Amino acid sequence: MYPLFKKGLVRMRNVWVCKNCSKEDADGALNALKDFFLIYGSIINNEMARHWLQETDRKYVTRVLERTGSKIGKGKGASYVLDFDYEKDFKHYSYFIK
């Protein structure tokens, strides 16, 4: 699994900032998890998410994961089911799906 943000986005407090153009995106992590969902499927744990986002803050990643889906298990063994709606969350890809 390759991290998504290796080339450009970094978290600065509560927003993600592009290193190249300095554009800010408050939902950068959420959008990255949508990409993970499309590539790898709906199950993810905190360690996988931290690697994908290139983020070291376990608590921050836990909060993001709790916004995106339901939790399975407890403690370090917990996983999350990413719950995205194809029609709502990936509408911008509809051109490619037809």
Question: What CATH number is given to the structural domain containing 27?
Answer: 1.10.10
**DSSP one-letter code for 61:** H
Q: How many domains does the chain have?
A: 1
Buried b (16+ CB within 10 A) or exposed e, 42-79: eebbbebbbebbebeeeebbbebbeebbeeeeeeeeeb
- Structural domain including 86 reads 4-97
Q: Name the β-bridge partners of 43.
A: 81
The angle, 0 to 180 degrees and rounded to 10, between the axes of the packed helices 46-53 and 58-68 is 100
Top-confidence residue, 7 or 22: 22
Looking at residue 3, what is its pLDDT?
55
Identify the CA nearest to 35 among candidates 63, 2, 62. Answer: 2
The stretch 30-39 carries a mean pLDDT of 85
**DSSP one-letter code for 8:** S
Is the pLDDT reported for residue 4 higher than 70? no
